[in-house]
Structure 1
Amino acid sequence: MRRESAGRPSEARDRLLGTATRLFYTEGIRSVGIDRIVAEAQVTRATLYRHFPGKEDLVLAYLDEVDRATRAQVDDVVARGLPPADTVRALGESIAQGIGSPGFRGCAFLNAAAEYSDPDDPVHKAVIAHRRWFLDTVTELLARIREAPAEPAARHFVMLRDGAMAAGCLFDPELICETFLRGVDGLVRAHAAPDH
């Protein structure tokens, strides 16, 4: 929980979380130790432990920040008020922009899942909760296009996204994004088409 003084977030907490977010995303969670985070955030260990009782708490806070950013990204797309099919396409474009951005290193949640594979681990559970929300959200968006069962198409969208995010940090992101967006457009068209 965020500690506050006089109604404002703690600057030390924000520095810790910002530093951890940068390091966890660029170098991996398990490879970054608490001492490095403390040193780069320029705080004491006592300050770290006042805000985050252990590294796991810091990792969960990092994933929570990424989750909030992803939800805001989706909310921004939905708030445009586009027709349903264009909303799904715009979500794809928003994802593609992220893949093409400097410093892109893949999906933070897939990266975390690779490091925390135990289904009972709280970090793994946070990954699964985020992915469930994303699948449910895409399912709801696709259901607005047509009342046909939308979850199979939503799973396809999520798989396209996962593949683009994995490939986007390995290969030419422009080509990957172009391929991803063509896939999203084809998926939207197929889902919108009435059954024969």
Structure 2
Amino acid sequence: MARTDSTRPSEARTRLLNTALRVFYAEGIHSVGIDRIVAEAQVTRATLYRHFLSKEELVVAYLNEVDAAMRAQASAAAERGNSPADTLRGLGEAIAAGIRSPEFRGCAFLNAAAEYPDPGHPVHQTVLAHRQWFHDTVQSLFTELGTSSAEPAARHFVMLRDGAMAAGCLSDAALVCETFLRGVDGLLRVHG
């Protein structure tokens, strides 16, 4: 667990996390060293290790920040939606908006899993925990729709998202998003 001296994050910890968010996502985790993080965050190495016991702990904190942002997107979609179907569409729109952004470099979690393939590694475990939350969230929405096949529908939605995230880096993002959103609509027609 990361070391902190108070419940409110320090300015240095915030700078470290913001730097990690930017460079790990844009360039990959293994390709960015601690010296780079320290230099760009304008802190000392001792300050980094006062907040994070290791680079892997910083990576887990980075993924937790991404997870929190995605949970906030899901909450915002739920608040806007008048029905579970609207919420699922809102989730799809939020995912598509991310894919369309100029900074898009794929799914932070899939990227991290590729760099940390050992299922027992804390980074990989963080990825799995996020994916379980996302699956459970989507399954719960399909259950609210009254479908008897909520679990397979949720798996399908997650796979559509994974495919869109991968394809969004490799081909025309607008076309990928259009295809993804049509897939979400198709799932809602079948399971809604």
What is the TM-score when the length of structure 2 is the normalising length? 0.96
Equivalent residue for 1:175? Answer: 175
Equivalent residue for 1:3? Answer: 4
C-alpha distance in 2 between matches for 1:156 and 1:88: 13
Trace 1:1-196 onto structure 2 (pairs within 5 A): 1=2, 3=4, 8-192=8-192
Measured on the aligned residues, the alpha-carbon RMSD in Å equals: 1.3
C-alpha distance in 2 between matches for 1:29 and 1:81: 35
C-alpha distance in 1 between matches for 2:174 and 2:5: 42
- Higher helix proportion, which one? 2
What is the Cα deviation at residue 2 of structure 1? 6.7
Contact map agreement 2:3 2:53 (CA 8 A) in 1 = no
C-alpha distance in 2 between matches for 1:71 and 1:4: 26
What is the Cα deviation at residue 83 of structure 1? 1.6
C-alpha distance in 1 between matches for 2:147 and 2:175: 33
C-alpha distance in 2 between matches for 1:2 and 1:191: 46
Q: Which moved more, 1:140-149 or 1:150-159?
A: 140-149
What is the Cα deviation at residue 3 of structure 1? 3.1
What is the Cα deviation at residue 4 of structure 1? 5.4
C-alpha distance in 1 between matches for 2:51 and 2:180: 40
SS in structure 2 opposite 1:9? Answer: coil
C-alpha distance in 2 between matches for 1:2 and 1:13: 10
Contact map agreement 1:2 1:9 (CA 8 A) in 2 = no
What is the TM-score when the length of structure 1 is the normalising length? 0.94
SS in structure 2 opposite 1:144? Answer: helix
Amino acid at match of 1:3: T
C-alpha distance in 2 between matches for 1:8 and 1:187: 42
Amino acid at match of 2:131: R
What is the Cα deviation at residue 180 of structure 1? 0.3
Is the alpha carbon distance of 1:147 and 1:126 closer, same or farther for their aligned partners in structure 2, counting shifts above 3 Å?
A: same
